[in-house]
Structure 1
Amino acid sequence: MRLGWWIGVAALFGSGSAQAATCRLGAAGTTVSVTIEGTGRSMLVHLPAGRSTARLPLVFVFHGSTGKGRDILAQSKLEATADRHGFLLAAPDGGIPAEQGFVWNIPGVPTVTGKVPSPDDADDVAFVKTAIDQLAAKGCVDRSRVYATGYSGGGRMTSWLSCVAADRFAAIAPVVGLRAGNPLKETPRVPDPATCTPSRPMPVLAFAGDADTTNPIQGGGAGYWQYTMHTALVRWADLNGCRMGPVEREVSADVKEERFTRCSGGADVAGRVKHGAGHVWVADNEAMWAFFAAHRQ
């Protein structure tokens, strides 16, 4: 991965009529560090190779707990996918420092350190919204085609954004991290419906491995996990008003899919489980992008 230069706030975003009509973050095929004005934070943005300066789809990829944006770019190999299909790829760092990296602020849920985020911790939802707004203002992003994926804790962050900021995303694809709200305190094997009330149906494609012992598809494990992947899929199907499913099929020799269809606004819900895979990036990036590309707001 090639890291570019730091782009200053004034040079990157400008103001008013001085803003350019086209996106000029850096050279095509590079990954640059972009300052997000007013947050004191930056994020890595990959500009697809060989593409025009017109507004592009934007995919956020969120790192796992105690990781960094640069880590998930290396793990996911999504930069190459962005180059093949021509979308911007954003990889921010979480807002709460932990060990050698960062964790995401999901209110009311303990991080892997055991600490529940406090009101003094950085608001990651506000940061992501601001990043979308500023990239769109710069002429870089098609607001109708903003998507999110993430690994582990980043998958949980992706799920959380869908619960509280569904108006900003056209579809999500969490990897070993699909949730549908916080575990219910009295009965943690089910999600608390009050903690996930999306403003619109959200298309969902989730990926997991059946040998994952960190976020097992059968539930259990850490306090933030508990309910099963199937339960999360059913909850999203309910939220999306799906009228058919689940229907199971074999995607390949080692991948099984569970899908709900005939959902409001075409917001289908599916989960793919890879046999023998553990707590790793198990996503099929081409299938993920095909799913994203089929949805826009």
Structure 2
Amino acid sequence: MLLMLAGLAAPRTGHAADRCRLGMAGATRALPVGDTGRSMEVHMPATGAAQPRPLVFVLHGSGSSGEGVLRDSGLAALSDSENFILAAPDGAIPLGKGYAWNIPGVPTVDGKLPGKDDADDVAYIGAAIDWMVAKGCADPDRVYVTGISGGGRMTSWLGCVAADRFAAIAPVVGLRAGNPLKSDPARPDPATCRPARPLPVLAFAGDADTVNPVDGGGAGYWQYSMDTALTRWAALDGCKAGPQRIDFTGKVLTIRYDDCSGNASVSGWIYHGRGHEWVADNAAMWRFFERHRSKS
């Protein structure tokens, strides 16, 4: 784990004085990320700006790609209206026609564990942050991450091992709080999730999801319930109030923990009748993100 953290521990680079020039306003293009040898899809918001802007990573599900999750999430339109940069990288591990994320100890959907030759996705995303900050494009105190399914697992993993680089996380049908405990998979292993600081969390799910059931089960790398994951994040964030449960007209159940350390909060939105899909309310996600900074 120390090796993974080392990839994100570089000092934050000062903002460049000139305007960010990564791409045309309102357009998406694949850009090489520094000297990583990898590229990622980047959508620049429609309104140009001289000042560094918020940066949102959106992470694809297993077997998909950055291009695919941009299409499925609909976040590019929100990037244009709310003036944040949207980045959609590909995972390190080829899988079918797409990719999977390298999460240590977690097999991909084909049952294979990441190998020693698979690239370090934590270090890669950290390098992408540093690169966009150095270009004068991204504000290092306003970096956020969301993702669906396997990308939700990766979003959660980044929260566990690189909380100092993100202001908030919002997994979609994929909230975890560490790998399932080998001796009791119904609980998360505390040794695999030790965030460096309290981290705001907003998770979305559907109660008809049979891939990652909100009540637990599914593949071996899921197992424990969403309630268990939320409870664990609330403990990690030192939350003193909650859970407060409100069911809004039978459409969505919200679960919220408050009075947390570092101005954090932990919430889950579970949509009735929705499955393993992009169930996130994008506007609500952005309102959650924009309330938080890495340095409060």
TM-score by length of 1: 0.92
- Counterpart amino acid of residue 288 in structure 2: F
8 A contact 1:20–1:138 mirrored in 2: no
Question: Is the counterpart of residue 187 in structure 1 residue 187 in structure 2?
Answer: no
Gaps of 5+ in 1: 1-15
Aligned to 2:137: 140
Of 240, 243, 246 in structure 1, the residue corresponding to residue 240 of structure 2 is 243
Q: CA contact under 8 A between 1:21 and 1:139: conserved in structure 2? A: yes
Q: Letter of the aligned partner of 1:290 in structure 2?
A: R
2:213 aligns with: 216
Q: Residue deviations 1:223-259, cap 9 Å, x none? A: 1000000000000000000000000113454011000
Aligned residue for 1:113? 110
Change (3 A) 1:238 1:65: same
1:150 to 141, 144, 147: 147
What is the one-letter code of the residue matched to 1:24?
A: R
50-59 or 79-88, which deviates more? 50-59
1:231 aligned to 2:228? yes
Unmatched segments (≥5 aa) in structure 2: 1-12
The corresponding residue for 1:127 is 124
User: How do residues 35-184 of structure 1 correspond to structure 2 at under 5 angstroms?
Assistant: 35-184=32-181
On the 8 A contact 1:181/1:196 being kept in 2, the answer is yes
User: Residues of 1 paired with 2:262 and 2:34: CA distance?
Assistant: 34
Moved more, 19-28 or 280-289: 19-28
The letter of the residue matching 2:149 is S
- In the TM superposition, what is the alpha-carbon distance from 1:190 to its structure 2 partner? 0.2
Q: CA deviation at 1:51?
A: 3.1
Distance change >3 Å, CA 245–CA 288, structure 1 → 2: same
Question: Does structure 2 conserve the Cα–Cα contact (< 8 Å) formed by 1:24 and 1:53?
Answer: no
TM norm structure 2: 0.93
Q: Secondary structure, in 3 states, of the residue corresponding to 1:247? A: strand
Equivalenced residues, count:
281
CA RMSD of aligned residues (A): 1.3
Q: What do the CA deviations read for 1:156-193 (whole angstroms, capped 9, x no partner)? A: 00000000010100000000000000000010110000
Q: Secondary structure at the match of 1:45?
A: strand
Confirm or deny: 8 A CA contact 2:18 2:50 kept in the other structure. Answer: no
**1:170 touches 1:202 (CA, 8 Å); kept in 2?**
yes
Flag the 1:252–1:62 CA change in 2: closer, same or farther, 3 A.
Answer: farther
Query: 1:115 is paired with a residue of what secondary structure?
Result: coil
Letter in structure 1 aligned against 2:274? A
Q: Residue in 1 aligned with 2:20?
A: 23
